[in-house]
Each structure stands twice: as C-alpha cells, then as structure tokens.
Amino acid sequence: MKNSISAGGLTKWFNERVSFEGMVEHVKHKTVPEGKHFIWYFFGGSALFFFIVQVVTGLFLLLYYKPTPASAYESVHFIESEVAFGWLIRNVHAWSSNLMILSLFFHMFSNWFTKGFRKPRELTWITGVFLLIMAMGFGFTGYLLPWNKLSFFATKVGTEIAASTPFIGDFLVRFLRGGEEVTGATLTRLFAIHVTVLPLLAAMFVGIHLYFVQAQGMSHALGEKLGKEMKFFPDFVYREIAVWSACLLLLAFLAVYFPFDSVFISLELQEKASAFDPTPMGIKPEWYFMFMFQSLKYFPGSILGMDGRVAAVMFFSFGALVLIALPFWDVWAHREKRHWFPMVVGVGILIFIIVLTTLGYLDTGH
Ligand code: HEM
C-alpha cells in the first residue's frame, strides 16, 4: 500500500526534519581508547545511570509525598507501608543517590589523574564540578524531607555552618531556613529546591556535559601511547549496557536486603521530628559531607583574629576554587607533561577526604 508506514519511510521522514544521519555518522566513527585506563571511562556512564534512576524514582515518590511538618513524616510512612512497591522505590532512591555521588567521586578523581580535563575539555571539567556540587545539594535538600529527628537536626547543624560564610552568612541561613529556625518554611524551601530548581539545573548541565563529551570525543590518558581504539557503537555500548545492568542488580540487591533507614539511622532518630526536642546524640551528616563536618571540629576558635568557623568556610571555598580551576593551573598537562605538583594536590585531597571521613565515623562524641 502506498501510504503504509515502514521503518525506512519513518527514518526518512525524521531525517528530512532533524538530520538523523549526521548523528548516526558521528556515532559510527566515534571510538574509545583501549589503554590500561579503559575502566575509568565507565564511571561517567554509571553516574548517568544513577541520575536517571533518581529522576524516575523521585517522580514516583512525588505522587504521595506531602511537604508539610504535619504530614511529611506520615506520608513517607504511608509510602513505605501502604503504597504498592513504595518501600522499594524509596529505598532505590536513597541508595541510588549515594551510588551516584560515589560514581562521581571516582569519575572526578580518575579524570584528575588521567588529565581528562586538558585542552579542549576544560569546560567539560567545569560543568562536571558544578554537577558534583549539585549532586551534593540534592543530598542536603533531600535529607530534611522525611522530617525525622536525624533529618531535622542534621539540617539545623548544616544550615548553622552556612552562617559562617563571610559577609552573607546571616542572609544565607535565613534564606535556606525561611526564617531564624528550621521550621515548615525550611521544609517548603528545601523541597522546592530538591524537586524543581536542582533537577532543572542538573538536567541542563548533564545535557551540556554530554554534548561536550560527544563533540570532543574521549581523551587519551596523559602519557598513554596512541594504540588500539574500540568502536563506540556497538562494542563500547554493549559493555556500557553490561555495566548499567550490574548497577541495576546492585541497586535492587541493596534496596531489598538493606533498607536504607534501618541500616543507617538508629530507631530513636527515625522518630518524627519535633522542634522542642533537645539535639540528640550522634547527629551525623551523610558520608560525603563528613570530611567537612569533621574538619570543623579541628579548627581552633580563632585563627589570626578570625573566627575559626569563618576560616573553615573560607578554606573549603578555596578548595572548591582549586577544583574548578584545575584545567587552568595544571599548565603542565596542556604541554602533555606530568608534574608532581598537581599529582600531590590530588592525592593530598583524596587522603584528606578519606582520613577525615574515617575519623568522623569513629568519633562517638557530640
Ligand atoms: C551527573 C554528573 C555527571 C555525569 C552524568 C557525567 C557523565 C559523563 C560521561 C558519560 C562521560 C563520558 C565517559 C567517561 O569519561 O566516563 C563524561 C566525561 C567527562 N566528565 Fe563527566 N559526568 C558527570 C560529572 C562529572 C564531574 C563531577 C567531573 C569532574 C569534576 C566530570 C568531568 C568529566 C570530564 C573531564 C570528561 C571527559 C573525559 C575524557 O574525555 O576522557 N564529569 N562524563
């Protein structure tokens, strides 16, 4: 029949409008270096997988979650106990957020050490750093939503730290809390940031990041001889599908056998939040904030006449700047040379994060 729809006809129809062929040609010619650093090319993909899982499970949670102090805790309980597979969706969301941030740490440090940021990939690196900050922002804003004791007091402590930001500290705390204290207004704000502002920004940045990766192709690790290349399609894509399947299995295993709250939160801290309770013992942030939280305890009360907490906030802001600007100060990498300095800074940051995180978990004090 003349008017019947065939696969070829449909492709032609789209081609005339969006030039599929250009994209297909691009993918056909794309390759991935098959050197000894090959494994690190999968961590951006696993981060992408967990990001997609976050969006999908988050949308399901939105169907039942209620962001008010009177009903947030109860709605989460309802999702866990009444909604079909609600417990699974909630646990997958919690585990996937952690695995996404873990993937991002691997992805970032592997790119630091293989120098994946060198010319022309500076902007890929910078958009990546913003994505990491946003991922941590998702974690911080999502923590309050269950409205239990842990989430309430961790947000109180976390927002208090923002008060030490030079010049804008007081404004920042009031902006985040919607007032002087953590209240329903804080819940409304953090909820709005968690489900609209951050997803919109993150989707935009993921899009830009991936566009850069496609436009520039995969880099060779610095110092690696140009050798065998693997075809992106189908060879690399098959392997990526295997990695995504492994991620899915891991998520399902963790969500089913290790319910997030029972593994990480004591029964007392799982109770509903009340502003009148004294701050309970053992309030800890999520593991990826632990190194900052713990290091605050070691800063003296005042340094050279400056408040210790203000100095700490400045120290970490400087750290973020060092990270963002890496492609510009590692001038050796652009000349295809390895220098000990960026290596020592990278390893130093990694050791700092690991040691302080461990100390944070060993610390049983207040
Ligand atoms: C949601 C967050 C992110 C997603 C979904 C993502 C995804 C990806 C993907 C799929 C690739 C290509 C494969 C690979 O190299 O692994 C890539 C490359 C890259 N990413 Fe990310 N990424 C994210 C965050 C980051 C972060 C935090 C950084 C560093 C601070 C970063 C820096 C880079 C760089 C420099 C490349 C180019 C690597 C090369 O060409 O060898 N990305 N990203």
The predicted-structure confidence for 262-318, as pLDDT tens digits, reads as follows 999 999 999 999 888 888 887 889 999 999 999 999 999 888 888 999 999 999 999
The whole-number pLDDT of residue 3 equals 59
Residue 87 sits at the vertex; the CA angle it makes with 82 and 88, to the nearest 5 degrees, is 135
Single-letter amino acid, residue 39: I
Check whether the bond before 120 is cis (ω within 30° of 0): yes
Question: Of 19-23, 97-101, 231-235, 283-287, which has the strongest mean pLDDT?
Answer: 97-101
> Cβ(288) to ligand 1 under 6 A?
no
* Six token digits for residue 283: 């309030």
Q: pLDDT tens digits for 56-98?
A: 999 999 999 999 999 999 999 999 999 999 999 999 999 999 9
Give Cβ neighbours of residue 11 (< 8 Å, ≥ 6 apart).
20
Structure letter (DSSP) for residue 84? T
CA distance 80 to 78: 5
Cα 140 to Cα 11, 144, 194, 226: the distances in Å are 44, 8, 9, 42
CA of 155 to the centre of ligand 1 (A): 30
- 111 CA closest ligand 1 atom index: 35
The answer to whether residues 119 and 331 touch, using CB atoms and an 8 Å cutoff, is no
Residue 137 sits at the vertex; the CA angle it makes with 240 and 173, to the nearest 5 degrees, is 175
CA distance 264 to 134: 23
CA distance 190 to 200: 15
CATH number of 28-276, picked from 3.50.4.10, 1.20.810.10, 1.20.1730.10, 1.20.1250.20:
1.20.810.10
Mean per-residue pLDDT, 168-185: 96
The whole-number pLDDT of residue 2 equals 54
CA distance 190 to 141: 5
CA of 117 to the centre of ligand 1 (A): 10
CA of 41 to the centre of ligand 1 (A): 8
Query: What's the mean pLDDT when you consider all of the chain?
Result: 94
**Percent of the chain scoring above 90 in pLDDT:** 83
CA distance 152 to 150: 6
CA of 44 to the centre of ligand 1 (A): 5
CA of 107 to the centre of ligand 1 (A): 6
The whole-number pLDDT of residue 263 equals 92
> Cβ(284) to ligand 1 under 6 A?
no
CA of 128 to the centre of ligand 1 (A): 6
CA distance 274 to 276: 5
- 117 CA closest ligand 1 atom index: 35
The whole-number pLDDT of residue 15 equals 85
> Cβ(58) to ligand 1 under 6 A?
no
> Cβ(37) to ligand 1 under 6 A?
no
The answer to whether residues 178 and 189 touch, using CB atoms and an 8 Å cutoff, is yes
CA of 113 to the centre of ligand 1 (A): 13
Is 90 exceeded by the pLDDT of residue 102? yes
> Cβ(51) to ligand 1 under 6 A?
yes
* Six token digits for residue 313: 């906030």
Reference 34, options 245, 224, 237, 242; nearest CA is 224
> Cβ(218) to ligand 1 under 6 A?
yes
CA distance 357 to 293: 9
The whole-number pLDDT of residue 136 equals 98
CA of 68 to the centre of ligand 1 (A): 36
- 202 CA closest ligand 1 atom index: 1
The answer to whether residues 57 and 92 touch, using CB atoms and an 8 Å cutoff, is yes
Give Cβ neighbours of residue 313 (< 8 Å, ≥ 6 apart).
161, 164, 165, 166, 169
> Cβ(132) to ligand 1 under 6 A?
yes
CA of 48 to the centre of ligand 1 (A): 9
> Cβ(41) to ligand 1 under 6 A?
yes
Mean per-residue pLDDT, 153-167: 93
> Cβ(138) to ligand 1 under 6 A?
no
Residue with tokens 């390893």: 347
Please, which residues bridge with residue 302 across strands? 307
> Cβ(43) to ligand 1 under 6 A?
yes
